[in-house]
Structure 1
Amino acid sequence: METAPMSDSGYGWDGGELDIDAYLSRIGFDGERAPTLETLRALQRGHTTSIPFENLEIMLGRPILLDLENLQDKLVRRQRGGYCYEHTILFAAALERLGFGVTALSARVTLGADEIRPATHAVLRVTTAGDDRVWLCDVGFGRGPLEPIEFADGAEAVQDGWRFRLERRTGALDTDLWVLHQYGGEGWVDRHTFTLNPQYSLDYAVGNHYVSTSPRSPFTTRPFAQRFGPEVHHVLDGTTWTTTRPDGSTQTREVEESEIPKLLDEVFGVTLDAADAARLGQPSLTAR
């Protein structure tokens, strides 16, 4: 089942412009193309395990483009990765094309911090056909969840050993404030918080500009990549490569700048052309 996109692209995600066959092939999905919970689970699992997280365009001095044609070219055709806005917009277009109900949201990444941080993480509120439940889809954080989590206070999900919990609190002006927690080596950590205030493509464009250009953004200071799967989560942060398992065990080692392009290719699934690989290996890019 496929549906046409909304006529005003400012309110929709241009799903009608998506090469749905190419996208589904990219994420390894061959199930029923219907807006069901089973399909949603398979789509999110396929997306999060197939398309890596990376900020390398910023490091190479190029802008992050959020129009669907450029996203398809980068993440689907050239099989690169991206960060949250790129992942979320592409996923929203696919869900819209297949008939799901999609509302974009913005989250504040906390990771246990007390100070207020900008709302620069993109997530989705999703509904399915014939089911009154509502689902949180977070495909752009780089470390899961593998599947949607039901919007319910205290909802816990264990997905191939990775553990998540969604909590509803009272925020400013008595609004609902949702908190996604993830369990790791140090126990439960609040990962990000968000309200149900709808976001649109222009809102994501504003956040994307800040994240990709501000000297205060962590993504303008060093190369960063993640690859997430059922059994392992890989992170490259500058020249530090960390591997984490669902039980919380980790291994960390430093890599040489010259190793990074090969590591990105073999471990993270990010293949650069020769010119970009040579440029990325320069110490000036990894030691900002």
Structure 2
Amino acid sequence: MIEGYLRRLGLEGRPEATYETLVDLHHRHLDTLPYENLSIMLAAIGATRAPDAVDPVETLERVAAGGNAGYCFHNNGVFSLALAELGFDVVRRTGQMLEATGPSGTLDHLALEIRGLATAANPGGRWVVDVGYGDGFRDPLPLVEGHFRQSGFVYRLARVGESGWTFHHDPHGSFNGSFVRGSVTQEEVEASHLRLSTPPDGDFTRKLVVQRRDASGAETVRSIRHLRTGEGAFERELRDFEQWRTALGRLGLSFRGVEEDALRELHKRQAAEYDDWLLTR
């Protein structure tokens, strides 16, 4: 079932469920499949009928065929499915960004915990993995309180009550962090996806965001603004369509099945949205 996904990540055969495999898969997924909301934005401008579904099996099939994954629900959904099939003990948890997109307790992030992988540095064997933040951490984090440094960025995990945790992002990140608590069902994920991806109020229907975390930093195209944090930091505007399209492709975005006219219309609208944003800064 997951062979096509593994091949997309550059692997032949099924690796064993070890900590080393977990780290390798985390890196390969981040390198291959960016965080993005292209299908949501195309649906919002009427170029497609509906955004890509968040069913992990559908995401797996789409990725295996060379398409995009999506945003956090898609990326972490397919990652959890693949890890579970490889034999990892995966727990899907409810997450909410600290800059909440709804009332307290609203699900807007799918968080993942891996259990039973004890190492000398983490004898408890519990890990946080996340390939759905866009510009989050590169390596799995041990699920213990503390600060963690990775390639110039600093993250923090803190316990809240008996079962909750907060992830605090590096100050250079695109968000403050997230709060994680009990388990989540697929039905709850699908209901939240519908809320987040339906215009005009859906938070992911207003601005194209494509992000990828690599070994030394993170790169983002947000609307027509192209920026990088970490090593080689820069910021520029992509007002030329071809430059915009090329930058998206270099971030790993797939244009499989996407009409160029639809992309041009999206770029035009995003440029106008960006100019409106500049006027309100």
* Residue-by-residue CA offset, 1:5-41 (whole Å, 9 max, x unaligned): xxxxxxxxxxxxx3x2222222234697222212111
Percent identity, please.
24
Segments ≥4 residues shifted beyond 6 Å: none
Out of 193, 214, 237, the residue aligned to residue 179 of structure 2 is 193
CA contact (8 A) 1:240 1:254 kept: yes
CA distance in 1: counterparts of 2:258 and 2:4, whole angstroms = 27
Equivalent position amino acid for 1:203 in 2: E
Match of 2:148 in 1: 157
CA distance in 2: counterparts of 1:32 and 1:149, whole angstroms = 23
CA distance in 1: counterparts of 2:133 and 2:51, whole angstroms = 20
Match of 1:255 in 2: 238
Match of 1:6 in 2: none
CA distance in 2: counterparts of 1:129 and 1:183, whole angstroms = 26
TM-score by length of 2: 0.81
Q: Is 1:281 the equivalent of 2:264?
A: yes
CA distance in 2: counterparts of 1:138 and 1:274, whole angstroms = 27
Match of 1:169 in 2: 160
Out of 195, 202, 224, the residue aligned to residue 187 of structure 2 is 202
Moved more, 21-30 or 49-58: 21-30
The gaps in structure 2 that reach 5 residues or longer are 44-49, 274-281
Cα separation, partners in 2 of 1:192 and 1:257, compared to 1, 3 Å: farther
Moved more, 33-42 or 210-219: 210-219
Out of 28, 52, 58, the residue aligned to residue 64 of structure 1 is 52
3-state SS of 1:235 partner: strand
CA distance in 2: counterparts of 1:81 and 1:269, whole angstroms = 11
3-state SS of 1:220 partner: coil
Equivalent position amino acid for 1:167 in 2: A
CA distance in 2: counterparts of 1:244 and 1:235, whole angstroms = 9
CA contact (8 A) 2:92 2:183 kept: yes
CA contact (8 A) 2:136 2:169 kept: no
Cα separation, partners in 2 of 1:201 and 1:274, compared to 1, 3 Å: closer
TM-score by length of 1: 0.79
Match of 1:13 in 2: none
3-state SS of 2:82 partner: helix
Cα separation, partners in 2 of 1:273 and 1:205, compared to 1, 3 Å: closer
Cα separation, partners in 2 of 1:183 and 1:161, compared to 1, 3 Å: same
The number of equivalent residue pairs is 259
Out of 99, 111, 136, the residue aligned to residue 87 of structure 2 is 99
Cα separation, partners in 2 of 1:54 and 1:140, compared to 1, 3 Å: same
The gaps in structure 1 that reach 5 residues or longer are 1-17
3-state SS of 1:219 partner: coil
Report how far residue 146 of structure 1 moved.
1.5
Q: Is 1:33 the equivalent of 2:15?
A: yes
Aligned-residue Cα RMSD (Å) equals: 2.8
Q: Is 1:48 the equivalent of 2:61?
A: no
Cα separation, partners in 2 of 1:275 and 1:64, compared to 1, 3 Å: closer
Q: Is 1:144 the equivalent of 2:144?
A: no
CA distance in 1: counterparts of 2:129 and 2:55, whole angstroms = 20
Report how far residue 185 of structure 1 moved.
4.0
Moved more, 91-100 or 211-220: 211-220
Cα separation, partners in 2 of 1:206 and 1:192, compared to 1, 3 Å: same
CA distance in 2: counterparts of 1:32 and 1:271, whole angstroms = 25
Equivalent position amino acid for 1:90 in 2: V
Cα separation, partners in 2 of 1:286 and 1:280, compared to 1, 3 Å: farther
CA distance in 1: counterparts of 2:68 and 2:11, whole angstroms = 18
CA contact (8 A) 2:14 2:86 kept: no
